[in-house]
Amino acid sequence: MSAPTHPFLRRRAIAALRYGDPDRRDAGPTVTTALIAGAVAAGLLVAGAVALPRLKTPATLGDAAIVMVADTGALYVRLEDTVHPVLNLSSARLLTGSTSPPRKVAAAALATADRGPTLGIPGAPDDPGRPLLADAVTWTVCDDGATTVLITAEPPDPPTGADAALVAGPSGRRYLLADGRRFQIADPLITRALGVEGLAPQSVSAALLTLLPDGPPLAVPVIPDAGNPGPDALGDARVGQVLRAPNAGADQHYLVLAGGVQRIGELAADLVRLAGGRTEIRDVDPATVAEVPTVGVLSLSDLPDTLGEVRGAGSGALCADWNPQASAVRFTPEAPTPAGRRPVTLPTADDAGPALDRVLVPPGRSVYVRDRGTTALIDDTGVRYPLDADAVAALSLVDQPTPAPPGLLAALPAGPALSRSAAAQPAIG
């Protein structure tokens, strides 16, 4: 049987089953009829999809404190019996204390309401986003010719033990960055003890230096009675001499003093040798050292024990990481950013100048912070908004604020202060 006969037989079969007459001509749908029917059905579906949101949009304000006109996105707040246009969602929440999403209404729902003037804080964030959890936040400042601040809930890359840096701040003052701290180089001779006499320092911003806690200044130590005979048990050892004794598989350094010996690290030993003009270290037996008292005359215990490799200019981006528990310094090829994210360039950006250039906060999130009694909210554009106690309650910032590195908060661009009284002011212009 040829292919063209199939439609004919199909129509006869349908006619016989449906009407009892196989010769009836209108027994089955033609292609044209099917196309027309399909087009009509599709049109009805499209019309329904367009009309359905309109049907779902409430025609009344209900008891909502914050409403949004569905067609335009315009925000309104209801204060007592009066409805006010409001500039942004932050202002609406400050005025009402409501944390519920705005109720979407048709514009006609506002027609019979008593209307008041527009309220709100110009420049306040529309919706600052949910704050990052305080105990998960890490602050990172990176310098690579520009200064980038990263505020993330992701742990930074672990530093390598060799990441120590010779740097120069904006004033030209030199520092050693090591052990998660900054040590001002108070004497040019110190570079000899560090083994970095010919190393050019890496230029860094004040923001990066601010992120790291201070260590003691690196200076040539003054040793009382230097050159005099040491304790008798040490034989001919002199005050100011460095001894070295094995201790649990490692070397322990000691400084000979008039009343005994002081335990010191390798870096302190280098500084002491520089002070006394002595280059040799005397090896002794641990039992010999145990025969004399251990004292703590000099303030050398806060120095790093060892440095490893010290790097300077041309080593890539230098980053400092900080949270309340620890801080660290690391070099990376460029300022790191989480995959798929780019920092926001600030309007104050000046590249190698003193201002911050870029900030990255996870998109759609914020950071509720405290620095020396001052609280603020940082949005995902890097702008900080000072907060008062009423604002903290109205914005439902129920978690503890994230500690901010001392001084860094003030370096971020400032937005308007967020307060209920400021939000209640009529917006003019």
In-domain check, residue 4: no
Same domain? 205 vs 322: yes
Give residue 136's pLDDT. Answer: 84
Work out the pLDDT band at 406, boundaries 50, 70, 90. confident
Same domain? 159 vs 214: yes
Domain count, the chain: 2
pLDDT greater than 60 at residue 275: yes
Same domain? 316 vs 268: no
* Rounded mean pLDDT, 306-320: 89
In-domain check, residue 125: no
Closest CA relative to residue 187, chosen from 153, 222, 161, 160: 222
Same domain? 162 vs 260: no
Same domain? 240 vs 194: no
**CB-based contact 321:328 (threshold 8 Å):** yes
Work out the pLDDT band at 205, boundaries 50, 70, 90. very high
Same domain? 247 vs 213: no
CA 405 to chain centre: 11
Q: Residue 325 sits in which domain range?
A: 138-218+306-345
Same domain? 208 vs 142: yes
In-domain check, residue 279: yes
Closest CA relative to residue 376, chosen from 385, 365, 389: 385
In-domain check, residue 284: yes
Poorest-pLDDT segment among 57-66, 153-162, 181-190, 280-289 = 153-162
In-domain check, residue 27: no
Quickly tell me which residue has 């005025």 as its tokens: 95
Work out the pLDDT band at 1, boundaries 50, 70, 90. very low
Same domain? 239 vs 199: no
Same domain? 143 vs 251: no
In-domain check, residue 197: yes
Q: What is the CATH number of the domain that holds 274?
A: 2.40.50.910
Same domain? 150 vs 205: yes
pLDDT greater than 70 at residue 157: no
In-domain check, residue 45: no
Q: Is 155 exposed, middle or buried (0-12, 13-18, 19+ CB in 10 A)?
A: exposed
Q: How many CA atoms lie within 13 A of 313 on its CB side?
A: 10
Same domain? 161 vs 188: yes
pLDDT tens digit sequence for 75-113: 999 999 899 999 999 999 999 999 889 999 999 999 889
Q: Note the pTM of the prediction, 2 decimals.
A: 0.77
In-domain check, residue 260: yes
Same domain? 212 vs 329: yes
